[in-house]
Amino acid sequence: MSTQPVGTRAYLGLGANLGDRAGALQRAVNSLMAAPGVEVVALSGVYVTEPVGGPEQREFFNAVVALETDLTARELLELAQRLESDARRIRHERWGPRTLDVDILLVGDTRLDEPDLVVPHPRMWERGFVLAPLADIAPELVHEPASGVWRGVRRADVSLVLPEHR
């Protein structure tokens, strides 16, 4: 039995490198499942990834989730920011450690170029910590490296789960 509306396929990138990293990613998935107008349709594996950019900091856990949604990219950004705020994300320095990061990667064929929201995410195609998990659930979108492995990226020993629809 389907619950929520379905519409556009969207992909969100999740990252965390402070506190309970796996817990933060799973709570984000749970909140997305509970959000009106959003159905989570696929979860990537969880990857342990070397931090890119910013200060010396702990390794990240990264994952990608696929949604079917009737929300716009802008509405998805507001939802993403609510999840970050629920995770008590505090912005110290640029590219610094965070309890939860939720990035809008792709929203159907939406193209947006606004000061606070660029879709598709302009740097996603260069980042192994996005492409490795994205390849799990949308391999047709990803050119895997000739070496067959993403640098600085390995599978974590934890997985995300989809809670039952309510």
Q: Could you tell me whether strands 38-43 and 8-16 are parallel, antiparallel, or unpaired per DSSP bridges?
A: unpaired
Contact 132, 145 (CB under 8 A): no
Which member of 95, 108, 145, 151 binds ligand X6L (CB under 6 A)?
Answer: 95
Tell me which amino acid residue 144 is.
Answer: E
Q: Is 50 in the site for ligand X6L (CB under 6 A)?
A: yes
| DSSP conformation class of 46 | -
Which member of 99, 103, 130, 153 binds Mg ion (CB under 5 A)?
Answer: 103
Judge whether 111 counts as a catalytic residue: no
Q: How far is the CB of 59 from ligand X6L (least distance, A)?
A: 7
Catalytic residue among 21, 89, 127, 136, which? Answer: 89
Q: Torsions phi, psi of 133, nearest 5?
A: -65, -35
Which member of 20, 34, 52, 154 binds ligand X6L (CB under 6 A)?
Answer: 52
The region of 3-11, 31-39, 46-54, 66-74 touching ligand X6L under the rule CB under 6 A is: 46-54
CA gap 8, 11 in Å, rounded: 10
CA gap 32, 82 in Å, rounded: 10
Which residues belong to the active site? 89, 98, 101, 103
Interface with ligand X6L by CB under 6 A: which residues?
A: 15, 49-54, 60, 62, 95, 101, 129
